Amino acid sequence: MTKPNPFKFGSVVDKPYFTNRVEELQQIKNLLQSKNHLILISPRRYGKTSLILKVVKTLERPYIFLDLQLITDVADFATQLLKRLYRIYPVERIKQFIKNFRIVPTLNLNPVTNEIDISFQPVKAAMPLLEDVFNLIEKLGTHAKTPVIVLDEFQDIFRIGKGLDRQLRAIIQHHKNVNYAFLGSMESMMRDIFEKKNSAFYHFGQLITLDKIPYDDFYNYLIKGFSGKCSDKNMLSKGILEFTNRHPYYTQQLAYTVWDSCDNKLSPEKQIENAVTHLIRVHDIDYERLWQTQNQTDKKVLITLAETKRNILSGPVISKYRLPAPSTVFSCLKRLMSQGYVIKTGSLYELDDPFFAQWIKRRREN
């Protein structure tokens, strides 16, 4: 029987694809077993979704996961939450509470999906809908195991509705039978929400930042994956981690590609180079489109980040790459971070996607 590729990327993962995070798993589990709430921050594709889902599944409690990036407005927020409640609680139990909603929804069983389709009559003020749904979650929590509500990309709360952060805090601050987990990828925005004294959610829960997986843990994970397939698993693992700088998503992606095309006649360096070339070719159109959407300052900053690992805000780097004033570079970095193209590790900025960085370097060399 052919051994399946042991590396996985691009979706939520669990064993055997889940890598380390032992300390974070226990920390989050302990927190959600208390009466406290969680704030989890990390750049995109660091594995926070896989991490939180792994924890809540071990708790064996009802949970809802909702990505606020996909929510259009307050009414949609209420609808999507209520739809997920119907997935985890008996219909008859929910019905007895819904009849007391200020705006009663229309419920229909979808014969194709066997799910409840929910719709509300259009209203000018949709906040009562959302308030009734959140309070329903609290009431359901008194009749069974405490539910966990995971709201991903929580910084999008400002886009969904003006003043929604304060309105939502006013509702859920009284809840005693629900654990809330707020996830976000925009660190500066998330810290503003939960650490600024004038913010509605100031110190609402325990804040945890998710860093890159420790080198030794990732290295051992890669070696185990390459065992029985690639002969020089040590050098392959080192080379992959050097290229990706331990970024969880791109490390898995590169390892998957190297494993899939493993040729023990080639050196580890050549195998990695071939895999990188393949992935750049696959995403060439996407990178071209991304590049064309950037202004001239953005392009200069992206080039600098692709070509150096030094502090981009330092005088020598600004001088060498003919960058504008540090204040302008900093504003550009903040914008690129909010778009997910740049991440900050410690005091250093780097391109989120190492293949995009390599695409830039190769285009400039040709």
pLDDT over 90 for what percent of the chain? 74
240-293 residue pLDDT tens:
999 999 999 999 999 999 999 999 999 999 999 999 999 999 999 999 999 999
- CATH fold group of domain 22-209: Rossmann fold (3.40.50)
- Checking if the pLDDT of 17 tops 50, the result is no
The CATH class given to the 285-365 domain equals: mainly alpha
CA-wise closest residue to 171 among 163, 98, 32, 64: 163
CA gap 150, 131 in Å, rounded: 17
- Rounded mean pLDDT of the chain? 91
Q: pTM for the full model?
A: 0.85
Q: Which stretches within the chain are classed as H helix? A: 22-32, 48-59, 74-88, 91-98, 127-141, 157-160, 164-172, 187-195, 215-226, 233-244, 248-260, 268-282, 284-292, 296-307, 315-320, 326-338, 354-365
pLDDT over 70 for what percent of the chain? 96
**First-residue to last-residue Cα distance in the chain:** 44
Position 172 confidence tier, pLDDT thresholds 50, 70, 90:
very high
